[in-house]
Every structure is written in C-alpha cells, then in structure tokens.
Amino acid sequence: MKKHIDLLSIGVLLLLGPFFVFPKEKWNWMLLTVVIMLFFSRWIIERRFLPNTPIDAAIGVLLVMALASVFVIKDIGESAGKLAGLIYGIVVFYALTKAITTPGRVKVAILVFLAAGCVLAVVGLLGRIEYKEPFFAPVESKLPKIPKIKLGLTGAETGVNLNPLGGILLLFIPIGIMQFPLLVKVNKDYAAPSVRRVGFVVTVAILGVQALAVLLSISFGTWFALALALWLMGEWKRPIKTIIVGVSLTIFVFFFLNTSRQVNNKNPGIRDAINSSIENRVDLWKKGLEIAKTHPVFGIGMDQLRRTPKYLYGDSHAHNQFLHTAAELGIPGLIAYLAILIGVFWIAGEVRRSALPEWMRLTSRGLGTGIFAFTLFGMGDAIPLGAKPGIFFWMSLAMITSIYLYGRNNGFMKKSEKRSN
C-alpha cells in the first residue's frame, strides 16, 4: 500500500487540477477538504505528513501566512481562487517529491515537464493577445503567420498574455538546453542511442516553439533574464559563449540603435516606449512598497492588490514578485518566499558538488538555472503566488528537490563530502 499511495495521490491531484487552476467559489472548500484528506491518509499509512525536505519550514510559514490572510479579507470569496491555487501548488510539490524517488521516475518527470512546457508554449501562442507594439512590427512581419484561436479559458477570456507566459517559460528553456550534452554524448545510463536521436529532434522542436513565444512576449525583462541565465548556466565552451554574445549584441543593435527615431508620426520610438514602461513600473513599485509598510505583518490578503483603489484592474500586480508578496502576505510571507528560493539554490549547489550521475547533476543545473531566470524576471514583473502558471514553479522545485533527496538517501552526498576532504 505504501508503494502505491504516492502514485494514487498524483492521480487524484491530476483529476482535481482543472478545478484548482480554474476555480469556482462553490467548490473551493470541497477541494481544500480533499487536500486535507490526502495529507491525513499519508499520516495514517506512513505516520508522517511530509517527506522531510530542506525547505519545509519556509513552505510552512508561507502557507500559514496565506491562510492567515483569510482573517484580513472582508470577502474570502474574492481570494479563494488564489488561495486554492497556492495550496494546490504546495500539495503538488510534496506529492511529486514523494513520488520521484528513483532514477527512472526522474527521467519520466523530465519528459513530462518538457512536454508540459511545449503544450504551454503552443497554447499561449495560439490563444495570444496581440499587442500593437510599433518597434516590434518589423520583426513580427518577417515571422510566419501564426494562427490564433479563442480558447475561452477562465481568467483569460480575452486571450493569453504573452508577457507572463515568457516569464514562466524561463523555467523550461534551461533544462531543455541541458538535454543536449546528455543526448549527444554516449551515456548508457541516460538513454539508448535510438532514444537519444529522437530526443534530440524533439528537444530542438520544443525549444524552437518556446523561443518563439519568448520572442513574441516583447518582454525586455524576460530576454535579459534568459540571456544572463544562459551565460551563467555553467561550463560552456568558448564557441558557444561567443555565439550567445554575438546574438545578444545583434539584438541590442537592432532594438537600441537610433532608438529615438519614431517608427511613424503617431507611434513613439523604442526609447520612449522603454522610458514609459520603466516610469510605470517605478510608480507601481512605490505603491506596492507603501502597502507593505502599511500592512507589514499580514499584508492585505491574497489577490487583494488589484482590488485596492490605487490600482487599475489592468495593473493587477506590483510588477515585482517580492514587493507583491510583501504587500499581500506581509513581511513574514516575503521572508518565507525568499527562504524557499535560497533553499533551492543551496540544493542545486549540493547536487552539483555531489557524486550523483552526470545526467542528474546536469538536469539539476538546468532546473536551478530556470528558477534563477524566473527570479530575475520577478525583479521587474510578477506572477503572483496562486496564479495559474505558478503550478510549474512548484513542479520545478519538486524535481530539483527530488534529485537532492535521492542523492541524500542513497549516500551520494556523503561521497561528495569525503571527496572534498
């Protein structure tokens, strides 16, 4: 029974996923009850709620602050969706961490994660909101015509915003790139030659779709975060770094050379557009900081920032992940979120120094780089905790934590300590 409870939990969570991701107020409390039952069923069978990860305390504090926000919100129905989304993400994190316990399951998780990133990019491109950015028109006109369909997704009735989509795809692209050295090398521990050849072609296709979505996101923050993450990814050879620098310089020259020139008589040039974007963000940062100072302990509650009189509906977040978290969940919530990030980067460092198989260490590096890029993206934008795309953040955390726990439980970390001594 113990061997099957993990897979059973994931199956239940997959079935409930649409109800959490596209919540309705009438069934939110029923979903929370099911989640609590899953935790207690684990306690009955294994006499423990959680698999004992290095970030348990930070996640616990974050969850407590989210639940405490219930008491500072006049109408909990307004925030039930975001609260359900956060709880679902945390439960998925623990379900995956408990289930991904063998090298074979890690490989399956990688495959599923890459496939999810591909589906996310395709759905985003097909259901995208088209923006009329004057400085991007020359590039968009040279791209093949991408079909557009109406998806009718709850919370995205007008279409998919490619800006946050680009931010979420930062979690996927680095791990996809890290597959190349594993698929090119003769590594019997990772995959058979025929599987590697197919995997190489599929990975190229997935990265191509994701790169197109990131390009069309028209997000300088996403582009900067991705470029820096790729540069810092690890032991790149000099020719690859030269290519990255060359591509980055080309983009820089294309977008910033003669930026004061207007595209036409009506639309502003690139420099004016960038300055306007920065000014708007600074204003939102100040307002988010002001709310955090006014409500430092519990914040104003989840999903309440966009409902305050000082914000328009379109400005639904503070354009900074950390200020937004502090404003809605208070300073303790911000500290907990920072502790989760610090803990994950520590986990990535431990895995890199360990004696785990090379493919596990490279996979962990890709996941860690993706989380780093996502964190950089959060400096100038935000995907609030509990938002629909946030589930992929928790999935990424679960995978890198699972690799660490496998190494810790099987003595690979101890071997690393002996080797370093």
340 burial level (CB within 10 Å; 0-12, 13-18, 19+)? buried
Lowest mean pLDDT among 77-81, 125-129, 302-306: 77-81
- pLDDT band (50, 70, 90) for residue 390: confident
CB 397 within 8 A of CB 59: no
Percentage of residues of the chain with pLDDT beyond 90: 20
The pair of structure tokens assigned to 90 is: 């945390």
pLDDT for residue 385 is more than 90: no
The pair of structure tokens assigned to 42 is: 């684990």
Q: Rounded CA gap, 398 and 10, in Å?
A: 13
Q: Rounded CA gap, 370 and 28, in Å?
A: 31
* DSSP H helix total and E strand total for the chain: 17, 0
To which residue do tokens 């690979």 refer?
Answer: 412
CB 300 within 8 A of CB 71: no
- Give the tens place of pLDDT for each residue, 131-174: 655 555 555 555 557 767 776 666 555 667 778 888 999 999 99
Q: What is the rounded average pLDDT for all residues in the chain?
A: 76
Q: What angle do CA 213, 218, 223 make, to 5 degrees?
A: 80
Q: Rounded CA gap, 117 and 206, in Å?
A: 8
Say what the pTM is. Answer: 0.82
Strands (DSSP E) along 3-103, which ranges? none
pLDDT for residue 341 is more than 80: yes
